[in-house]
Amino acid sequence: MSLVHRALRIPGALAVLGVALVTGLPAQAGSPDAALVYRRFAARVVKIQSIEKRSGAKSAIGSGFFVSGSGHVVTNYHVVSELINRPERYRAELVDGGERSRTVEVLAIDVVHDLAVLQAEPAGDPWFALAPASPDRGTRLYSMGHPHDLGLSIVEGTYNGLLEHTLYPKIHFTGSINPGMSGGPTVSAEGVVVGVNVSTAGEQVSFLVPVDRVIALVGEATRPGYVRPDSLLRTVAQQLLSYQDTYLARLFADSTRTVTLGGYQVPTEPAPFFKCWGDASHSRTRPYETIEHQCSTDDYVFISGEQWSGVLTLQHTVLSTRDLNRFRFYSLLTSQFSGDGFEFQGREVVTPQRCTTGNVRQPGLALTTVFCTRRYRKLDGLYDVFFKAATLGDPSSGLITTLTLSGVTFENARRVVERFLASLGRAPE
């Protein structure tokens, strides 16, 4: 995926992956403070290019910054993801402020937090010393990087603290960042790195990886005796396996909240990192009513331009009627139950889906179910799972409920689906 010219279609709020800062050219930096920050620290920020080996041309660009005098550079995982997924086809290089190119090697990655540490040949480059940073809300910050390959640029923005409804921490930065700036630093006026540009929802709603995650990864990559993994793609799989173990353990536990929809009791907000919303509709021209309730995470994990993971969604739909006879209502419920499924991802990264159907009885409920999985071809042990169930037997009311999990083990998926089913029931009279 070109971080310069392409957007990634993903679930949730984030419409663009690959962060950059808007101000087309360096001279357009907003304030005297921004101009001073640019002069003092621009030499520490570099462009990172993914080069397609056969053509010798760049296929994607991002940004990065030096964090040691030994040539260590921090960027986003997604900036160098082409190398990790297809090392036989791509290589990477950095371009410094003097337009000098140097080959870089990926030393360490944190795919969950979208970070990578690169190694370049040391050349006396100035660098940022990393330290914990917790600015006050409203603090003015400055992001640097290469938006749309227009040259190193800077933009001012505001620190708004950590997002509240996320599985892993992300900083809310009020500033316009654009593709190509991914991996660039966001710093205080004194040059303290607060975070790393990672994504945007547009309209000056942008997000940063907190510096403490950077410190942890750089510490790992530079510790004495550290050896670069033979297969970084295997490291991706290991990190995703650990990640899903962490968050799936919390889902649909006994403490999960429920909500009453029509005559049914269903789970809602299965963990603090979910957001839920709903609506109901009734039209005089339509012989049935619907109630909708949906929950999803804004978190996701970028694996490649063709694949993402860590997305969780659940949806409940209740249909009811006073006008349809039982046969027409059953036909309506059947048509609503069919269809849907996985978001498209290419067959190079996932296998075709395999589905099983069945019938399940819960206290007060009889349900028909479909359970679909598809396996990740390059990441052993991981699957996407789509589960759907519909109630049977009521001539004028029915519940259709859906759960989607991505990047999970089959065993964890089975346990979560069992807990999900156990949380469904009839509403108390």
pLDDT over 70 (residue 295): yes
What are the start-end ranges of the H helices in 177-265? 211-222, 232-248
407: left (phi over 0), alpha (psi -120 to 50) or beta: left
Q: Which long-range contacts (CB under 8 A, 24 or more apart) does 414-419 make?
A: 415/248, 416/248, 416/251, 416/252, 417/371, 417/385, 417/387, 419/251, 419/252, 419/253
Residues 339-364 pLDDT 10s: 767 777 778 899 999 999 999 998 88
Give me 304's structure tokens. Answer: 């490649």
> Residue 144's closest CA among 133, 134, 152?
152
Confidence of residue 9 (pLDDT cuts 50, 70, 90): very low
Longest Cα separation, the chain: 80
pLDDT over 70 (residue 109): yes
Amino acid type, 238 = Q
pLDDT over 90 (residue 108): yes
Q: Domains in the chain, please, with CATH?
A: 16-228 (2.40.10.120), 242-426 (3.40.1000)
Residues 133-143 pLDDT 10s: 999 999 999 99
Contact between residue 346 and residue 369 where contact means Cβ atoms under 8 Å apart:
no
Q: How far is CA 345 from CA 342, 380, 406, in A?
A: 8, 17, 12
Q: What is the DSSP letter of 55?
A: T
pLDDT over 50 (residue 23): no
pLDDT over 60 (residue 2): no
Determine which of 5-19, 100-114, 299-313, 323-337 has the lowest per-residue pLDDT on average. 5-19
Confidence of residue 10 (pLDDT cuts 50, 70, 90): very low
State residue 428's pLDDT score. 85
Residues 70-103 pLDDT 10s: 999 999 999 999 999 999 999 999 999 889 999 9
Contact between residue 294 and residue 278 where contact means Cβ atoms under 8 Å apart:
yes
**Residues forming a β-bridge with 158:** 140, 174
State residue 135's pLDDT score. 96
Residues 150-185 pLDDT 10s: 999 999 999 999 998 788 899 999 999 999 999 999
Q: What is the pTM of this model?
A: 0.89
Compute the radius of gyration of the chain from its Cα atoms: 24
What percentage of the chain has pLDDT greater than the value 90? 78
* 211 against 339, higher pLDDT: 211
